[in-house]
Amino acid sequence: MKILVTGANGQLGRDVVNLLLRQGHEVFGPTRNELDITDQIQCGFIISKIKPDVVVHCAAYTAVDKAESDCVTAFQVNANGTRNLAVLAEKCNFKLCYVSTDYVFDGKSSVPYLEYDSTNPVTIYGKSKRAGEIMVQTLSSRYFIVRTSWVYGLYGNNFVKTMLKLGTERNEIKVVSDQLGSPTLTIDLARFIAELIPTEKYGIYHASNQGQCSWFEFAQAIFDEAGMKQVSLLPCSTEEFPRPAPRPAYSVMEHLAIRTNGLTDLPEWRSSLKTFIGHYCN
């Protein structure tokens, strides 16, 4: 297949590009300068030139806190940029895979969110990503929406790398213990996307590593796997770490669509963390 990946230099995008290339696909990963998704004319030019079979849309405005004071840019990228691709998907007849987020939910549930549960984003970031979902659903007909959570990987900044760095600088670290979610390794998510896009099993998918933990438990596991016994972790509440954008207290998502469509679920989060730490720290 001929596949265009937006956000190809990002944390997830780089793993998606590398994996698809290894699988023998013809992959295009333009830089932000080469493809500004908010520029409708440039999008049309690049798409007409490449003529992709699939666009995997990883590009996004992901600065959760900054979005609270930069609403216009967040919506320009996450809503309008996605609209531009959705319109072209219908016009040029390619499949569109849009990577979304657990932030489309309000985090007030006590049971894992299903793909078709009502969304209720409470942050600008979450609202802009939900707006992107609506653009995809209303303007294109051959689409996959893949919601994920707590992403980390080899590229870019993330919680795992931050903890490992702090563990070498401090003897004591406070980590929030009252937010629950599912850490997701980018290569696992990339493998799922690579399995999904050749199919015609369109719709919404929840794709995170299986299982759940708090950020505190995630940090404990990171230091355990890295053999950093010297670090003292202290649990704390969300209130002790106020942020401009509220974090969802509960972000666990049920993978119903993966199971009902006979696709391969992502591995359990702790096993993926162990694999990542083994590669990253050696």
> Rounded to an integer, what distance in angstroms lies between the CA atom of residue 117 and that of residue 131?
16
28 lies in a domain?
A: yes
Question: What CATH number should be reported for the domain holding residue 193?
Answer: 3.40.50.720
Structural domain tally of the chain? 1
Active-site hit among 103, 125, 143, 205 = 125
Contact 123, 246 (CB under 8 A): yes
280 lies in a domain?
A: no
174-210: pLDDT as tens digits? 999 999 999 999 999 999 999 999 999 999 999 999 9
Reference 125, options 67, 181, 66; nearest CA is 67
Per-residue model confidence (pLDDT) at position 241: 84
243 lies in a domain?
A: no
Per-residue model confidence (pLDDT) at position 124: 98
166 lies in a domain?
A: no
> Rounded to an integer, what distance in angstroms lies between the CA atom of residue 130 and that of residue 125?
9
Contact 175, 219 (CB under 8 A): yes
Question: Which whole-number Å values give the CA distances from 177 to 86, 165, 216, 218, in the listed order?
Answer: 39, 20, 5, 9
Per-residue model confidence (pLDDT) at position 194: 98
217 lies in a domain?
A: no
Those residues with Cβ within 8 angstroms of residue 265's Cβ, 6 or more apart along the chain or in another chain: 210, 255, 258, 259
273 lies in a domain?
A: no
145 lies in a domain?
A: yes
Per-residue model confidence (pLDDT) at position 230: 86
48 lies in a domain?
A: yes
202 is catalytic: no
Domain enclosing residue 140, as ranges: 2-156+182-210+251-268
Which parts of the chain have pLDDT scores under 50? none
